[in-house]
A and B are shown apart, each in its own frame.
Chain A
Amino acid sequence: QVQLKESGPGLVQPSQTLSLTCTVSGFSLTSNSVHWVRQPPGKGLEWVGAIWSGGSTDYNSALKSRLSISRDTSKSQVFLKMNSLQTEDTAIYFCTKFSYWYFDFWGPGTMVTVSS
C-alpha cells in the first residue's frame, strides 16, 4: 500500500541548513509527483514545493532562494534542503503524493524546531 514517511533532525540551529527525507513505498517516483507542505505551530498549511515525475521542481516563491528538492528514485526517497533557517521556519513538515487532481496520501509529518 502507499506510504510516505518524513525523517529529519528535529532541532536545527538558526542560520543552519535543514535536510529532510521523505521515504515512500507503494508507488513510483517516476510516475507521481511528491510535494512538501509545512505547518507552523497553530497556523495553516503552506505549500513548500514539489518534485514532478520527470524530475523537475517547483518552489514556493517566498522560499525559492533557500530551497532545493531532489530525489533518489532507486531508494524511493525525496529530499528537501533549506538553508539559512530562521525561527519562522519552525513547523511540521509533511510530504504528500499528488494524484493529478489532489493530494491523496500524506506522511505523518515531522516537527522541525529552529532554535539555538
Chain B
Amino acid sequence: DIQMTQSPASLSASLEEIVTITCQASQDIGNYLSWYQQKPGKSPQLLIHSATSLADGVPSRFSGSRSGTQYSLKINRLQVEDTGIYYCLQHYSAPYTFGAGTKLELK
C-alpha cells in the first residue's frame, strides 16, 4: 500500500500568515493527489486536485505544488475561515490512502 506521510500534525498561525502543509508519498503517485478541508461536524471539501489544480469556488489564496513525491498545500494570507483539518489523498492506486491530517488553528 502507498503511505502518505503528512506534516505537521498541527499548526498555529496568525491572520495573513503564509501556511504550508506537506505530504510525502512512499512511491511515485504522479499527480494523483488531492487536498481536502474538513470543518467540525462536516464532510470534507475539495480544495486542490491533480496536485496543483484549484477546485471550483476555492479562494485563490490556496495553491498546490509537487516536487517529486512531495506535495504541498500553501495558504497565502491566512483567514479566519481557513481553520480546520486538512488531508491529502492519493488515488494513484487502490487502496487509496489519506494523510493523517493537519489541524490548523489561529494563533
Contact = CB atoms under 8 A, between A and B. Distances in A.
Interface of A: 35, 37, 44-47, 49-50, 58-61, 94, 96, 98, 101-104, 106-109
Interface size class of B (residues with CB under 8 A): 20 to 34
Interface of B: 1, 32, 34, 36, 38, 43-44, 46, 49-50, 53, 55, 85, 87, 89, 91, 94-101
B6 to A, nearest CB: 9
Nearest to A108: B43
Nearest to A35: B96
Given A101-B32, A103-B34, A103-B89, 6 more contacts: A45-B89, A46-B98, A47-B96, A58-B94, A101-B91, A102-B50
A45 B34 contact: no
Contacts of B43: 94, 96, 106-109
B90 to A, nearest CB: 9
Given A45-B44, A103-B89, A59 B95 contact: yes
A61 B95 contact: yes
Contacts of A47: 89, 95-98
Contacts of B100: 44
Contacts of A106: 43-44
Given A98-B91, A103-B89, A45 B1 contact: no
A98 to B, nearest CB: 7
B49 A101 contact: yes
Q: Which among A46, A96, A102, A107 has the highest number of chain B CB atoms within 10 Å?
A: A102
A44 B44 contact: no
Given A44-B87, A61-B1, A98-B91, A104 B46 contact: yes
B12 to A, nearest CB: 18
A35 B43 CA distance: 14
